[in-house]
């Protein structure tokens, strides 16, 4: 016990604080409980349906769980793409982190059964009308993950790349990334309300992070290195889970609710969701160096373990 007290005293003296203050504070502190630690009551108060349909609660909880999983992915990426300290992560560390990320991404993909088989069809198609113009498109967590994983050039569809100026900066390239296609009327060039709200809130932050992470993201760190097989496999799996399997699961779930008797229903964000969600259209690939030319050509049409 005396050793622990000595360590505490040394710690707070080094911080130029009186150790006795913290020891007295510890004495007065209440024992920690599970519900306080995870803020259970706060967590369970965050579901605020817009309608009286019971299954809207499921819809909200599902998306909140998804955001927490995306937060775990970001948490791991930030540790191997550390632009603040300038420390380079080892290939071993990166492999371990990407394998963790893959477990989270697999849960995201598997969790779509909650959506596709967990809500009443008619309830969903009523309560969703109260959510416009909100859309899963506006989940900025995905955009930050993309910036941590790869360069903006890899998020621009091949057909669009000839339109991008050679000296384009981050702000310009963001105008051409694949997700812009979901937020515009391609006949008029007008941005949807969904995209306007999204960019008003997040565009400055995305530009700032894009500039900070350019040349430092995971792809930039690894593209010119000889990668061990375990890391190659982990990167392929991440690309497949996040950029092929997850969008296809999302697409099939959307079709469950938005294709009534073969009739295509508009999304709340008014995007061309069937076209936008399919990976063979998006063609987003975080780590092109671990895929063959044939695989990249057939993107979104194959399965890997």
Express each pLDDT in 106-141 by its tens digit: 999 888 888 888 899 899 989 999 998 898 889 999
Q: Quickly tell me which residue has 């790349």 as its tokens.
A: 161
pLDDT surpassing 70 at residue 261? no
Helix or strand or coil: residue 65?
A: helix
pLDDT surpassing 50 at residue 270? no
Burial class (CB in 10 A: 0-12, 13-18, 19+), 167: exposed
Q: To the nearest whole percent, how much of the chain has pLDDT over 70?
A: 93
Rounded average pLDDT over 170-199: 89
pLDDT attached to residue 269: 44
pLDDT surpassing 60 at residue 262? no
pLDDT attached to residue 85: 67
Distances (CA, A) of 271 to 116, 175, 182: 20, 16, 5
Q: To the nearest whole percent, how much of the chain has pLDDT over 90?
A: 64
Of 25 and 156, the structure prediction assigns the larger pLDDT to: 156
The angle at the Cα of 143, spanning 141 to 146, to the nearest 5 degrees, equals: 110
pTM of the model: 0.89
Rounded average pLDDT over 230-257: 91
pLDDT band for 259, please (50, 70, 90 cuts): low
- Domain 58-297 in this protein, CATH class: mainly alpha
The DSSP call for residue 16 is T
pLDDT attached to residue 266: 52
pLDDT attached to residue 153: 97
Bridge partners for 260 per DSSP? 263
pLDDT surpassing 90 at residue 298? yes
- Helices 55-80, 140-149: axis angle to 10 degrees equals 20
pLDDT attached to residue 260: 56
Rounded average pLDDT over 252-260: 74
Of 45 and 16, the structure prediction assigns the larger pLDDT to: 45
Helix (H) or strand (E) holding 263: strand 263-264
């Amino acid at each position: 016990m005396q050793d622990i007290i000595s360590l505490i005293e040394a710690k707070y003296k080094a911080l130029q604080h009186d150790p006795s203050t913290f020891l007295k504070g510890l004495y007065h502190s209440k024992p920690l409980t599970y519900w306080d630690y995870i803020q259970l009551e706060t967590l369970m108060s965050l579901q605020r349906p817009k309608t009286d349909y019971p299954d809207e609660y499921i819809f909200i909880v599902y998306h909140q769980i998804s955001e927490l999983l995306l937060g775990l992915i970001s948490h791991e990426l930030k540790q191997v793409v550390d632009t603040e300290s300038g420390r380079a992560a080892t290939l071993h560390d990166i492999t371990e982190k990407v394998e963790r990320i893959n477990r989270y991404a697999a849960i995201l993909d598997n969790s779509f059964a909650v959506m596709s088989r967990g809500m009443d069809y008619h309830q969903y198609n009523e309560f969703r009308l109260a959510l416009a113009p909100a859309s899963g498109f506006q989940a900025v967590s995905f955009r930050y993950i993309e910036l941590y994983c790869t360069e903006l050039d890899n998020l621009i569809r091949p057909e669009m790349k000839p339109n991008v100026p050679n000296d384009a900066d981050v702000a310009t390239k963001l105008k051409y990334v694949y997700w812009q296609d979901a937020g515009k009327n391609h006949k008029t060039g007008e941005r949807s309300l969904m995209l306007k709200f999204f960019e008003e809130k997040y565009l400055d932050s995305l530009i700032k992070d894009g500039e900070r992470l350019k040349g430092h993201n995971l792809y930039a760190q690894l593209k010119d290195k000889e990668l061990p097989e375990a890391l190659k496999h982990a990167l392929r799996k991440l690309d497949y889970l996040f950029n092929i399997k997850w969008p296809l699961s999302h697409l099939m779930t959307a079709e469950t609710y938005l294709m009534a008797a073969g009739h295509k229903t508009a999304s709340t964000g008014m995007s061309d969701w069937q076209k936008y969600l399919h990976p063979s259209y998006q063609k987003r690939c975080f780590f092109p160096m671990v895929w063959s030319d044939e695989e990249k050509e057939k993107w979104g049409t194959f399965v890997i373990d």
